Structure 1
Amino acid sequence: MVLYGMQLPVQSQSTLYAEPWEAAAGPGDLVEIARTADRTGFEYIATCDHVAIPRRLASAMSTVWYDPVATLSFLAAATERVRLLSHVAVVGLRHPLVTAKQYATLDHLSAGRLVLGVGAGHVPEEFEALGVDFERRGSVLDETIDALRAALGPDEFPSFRGKRFAFEGLGQRPRPAQPRVPVWVGGSSPAAVRRAALKGDGWLPQGDPRDRLPAQIARLKELRTEAGITDPIEIGAIAEPLYVGDAAWDVGRRTLTGKPDALAESLRAYGAMGVDQIQVRFRSRSRSELTDQMAAFAADVAPHLNSQEYGNGQA
């Protein structure tokens, strides 16, 4: 069954995807969007993670990157069922006990709705400022995931010993509400796919086009089989930008737009590849247009994502 979630607007405003209206938006807009997602059946809402953006990248990335733990905790109080995903937390920038304290508290406060998405990061200056070796960020992330598995487990006094991190006899409460916090690994490089296959409960590819996804999924499954891992893994995909209905404005040539049956048929291709959840993004000119698009998608497109008998159109 293919589920759907979304990266929240406003909380990160890279020029690659932010809409103009987001520049003047704030907490109230985030709450309304999160409540719409909660009410209309979205599986998760997601936030990004950057500590600080260097001046050389600020014009493209902007410096608007809300803290994921603070943002998801704020939105947890305004929602009831939607899962709360960090997509992705650059956990190698912080000691795993610090990360565990933050996200265990979030899971506790939200009654077990956390999905911890993790990634290696890509901005050297952030690592340098925080005293972390950028060139070894992959191996740092590998060990950090292992340390977080221990620190987010059921034991009040977790223990772990690795090359960089070691702890024992140190208690942390509150514990997560979930017996096992799911860890989804982000990234599409060969190293990231291997990391997801060997260490993840889920995989969050970063912008793989449709024609590349089947080979990536096959490789991920092959790696798990070779390692003797039989547990299921949740496979994600980021869909093309969407606009439900006939837009009266230019939504861009890459945007999937049109009648709900055509959109549903197009998006069902992800399920055929073996994708379990798609991350959707809607073109919009205002918060109200965005929440209208979310509601239209949930009502008219989402119910047919798993049906092979609905529509013959092409998006």
Structure 2
Amino acid sequence: MQLPVQSQSTLYAEQWEAGAGPEDLREIARAADRYGFAYIACCEHLAVPRRLADAMGTTWYDPVATLSHLAAVTERVRLLSHVAVVGLRHPLLSAKQYATLDRLSGGRLILGVGAGHVPEEFRAVGADFEGRGAVLDETVDALKAALGPEEFPAFEGERFRFAGLGQAPRPVQTPRPPIWVGGSSPAAVRRAALRGDGWLPQGDRRTELPAKIARLRRLREEAGIEEPAEIGAIAEPLYVGEASWDVGARTLTGEPEQLAESLRAYRAMGVDQIQVRFRSRVRDELTDQIAAFATHVAVHLGD
């Protein structure tokens, strides 16, 4: 699940999140950990321009700081950046941050990366917005080297070059933490297929996913990549049980068996993991939904 509170776009944030803070994040992370969720996720925006602030909000917690904080209060749940806009910084800087997070968490990092979409963020730090796709491609390649097993990694690219520079601590995971690529454009699907260990679609409807999954698999096969990619999806908003309030027309709601039957359709189209979001009016309702989903819905989804 994507954590609430840490990003507060008007597209999805609940009203109670505006007054929430670190303790709420800790309690929700603990609930996800306790009830067996695969990962908790935090996304990234560096600075939101005024022209987008009404829709996006300006509350976007830093993913490395947030996930490191939550690593200390959880034990099992994995920690996903969904997504880090790694083209905003040199790959050695990102490698240092995320390798440290993997070490501090005992090897629970999943590095989700994306191209970004806000030109003002890139221009403010002197990064290349127009060429961000090519920058991301090379950054992913550089991160694979920098997060690998070598204490003195080496990389030679068009934009980035490094060798003879030691970085420690090294990640716990070997040969390196997984890198999942976010985005649903043709370029993003191709990047996930050829460079990623997994794919994180950005809000595709169910009818759109099968063709994109088929293309991703075809591209991997043509490139001779034998390891399957971890295919993700963001499910519709959920509410377990019959809601006594308006949870929205797109929200899946009802009895656990009904919800499970609907979610099993993702597996049938080739999805390996689904990211869920629960409608809620207060934090305790959200943690109750997490518990209800794990106890009554997930048991019907299979292994």
* Residue 261 (structure 2) aligns with: 265
Is 2:214 aligned against 1:218?
Answer: yes
* Residue 275 (structure 1) aligns with: 271
Q: C-alpha displacement at 1:306, in angstroms?
A: 2.5
* Residue 141 (structure 1) aligns with: 136
String of CA shifts for 1:271-306, please: whole Å, max 9, x gaps.
001100000000000000000000000000001112
For residues 233 and 155 of structure 1, the distance between their equivalents in structure 2, rounded to whole angstroms, comes to: 24
Q: C-alpha displacement at 1:133, in angstroms?
A: 1.2
For residues 208 and 261 of structure 2, the distance between their equivalents in structure 1, rounded to whole angstroms, comes to: 19
* Residue 114 (structure 2) aligns with: 119
For residues 217 and 91 of structure 1, the distance between their equivalents in structure 2, rounded to whole angstroms, comes to: 24
* Residue 72 (structure 2) aligns with: 77
* Residue 104 (structure 1) aligns with: 99
For residues 303 and 194 of structure 1, the distance between their equivalents in structure 2, rounded to whole angstroms, comes to: 34
TM-score, normalized by length of structure 1?
0.95
One-letter amino acid matched to 2:171:
P
For residues 81 and 47 of structure 1, the distance between their equivalents in structure 2, rounded to whole angstroms, comes to: 17
One-letter amino acid matched to 1:238:
I
Q: How does 1:1-315 map to 2 (within 5 A)?
A: 6-179=1-174, 180-306=176-302
Secondary structure at the aligned position of 2:206 is classed as coil
Secondary structure at the aligned position of 2:17 is classed as helix
String of CA shifts for 1:64-111, please: whole Å, max 9, x gaps.
000000000000000000000000000000100000000000000000
For residues 54 and 79 of structure 1, the distance between their equivalents in structure 2, rounded to whole angstroms, comes to: 34
Which contiguous aligned blocks of 4+ residues in structure 1 show a shift greater than 3 angstroms? none
One-letter amino acid matched to 2:164:
G
String of CA shifts for 1:230-250, please: whole Å, max 9, x gaps.
002100000000000000000
For residues 13 and 132 of structure 1, the distance between their equivalents in structure 2, rounded to whole angstroms, comes to: 25
Secondary structure at the aligned position of 2:299 is classed as helix
For residues 114 and 175 of structure 1, the distance between their equivalents in structure 2, rounded to whole angstroms, comes to: 12
For residues 42 and 273 of structure 1, the distance between their equivalents in structure 2, rounded to whole angstroms, comes to: 21
One-letter amino acid matched to 1:86:
S
Secondary structure at the aligned position of 2:239 is classed as strand
For residues 300 and 89 of structure 2, the distance between their equivalents in structure 1, rounded to whole angstroms, comes to: 42
Greater RCO (CA < 8 Å, at least 6 residues apart): 1
Secondary structure at the aligned position of 1:97 is classed as helix
- Could you tell me the percent identity over the aligned residues? 78
RMSD between aligned residues: 0.6
For residues 151 and 245 of structure 1, the distance between their equivalents in structure 2, rounded to whole angstroms, comes to: 46
For residues 97 and 60 of structure 1, the distance between their equivalents in structure 2, rounded to whole angstroms, comes to: 33
String of CA shifts for 1:36-58, please: whole Å, max 9, x gaps.
00000100000000110001000
For residues 172 and 245 of structure 2, the distance between their equivalents in structure 1, rounded to whole angstroms, comes to: 45
String of CA shifts for 1:171-225, please: whole Å, max 9, x gaps.
1100000012100000000000000000010000001000010001000001001
Q: May I ask how many residue pairs the two structures share in their alignment? A: 302
Structure 2: any 5+ residue segments left out of the alignment? none
TM-score, normalized by length of structure 2?
0.99
For residues 71 and 136 of structure 2, the distance between their equivalents in structure 1, rounded to whole angstroms, comes to: 27
Secondary structure at the aligned position of 1:212 is classed as helix
One-letter amino acid matched to 1:196:
A
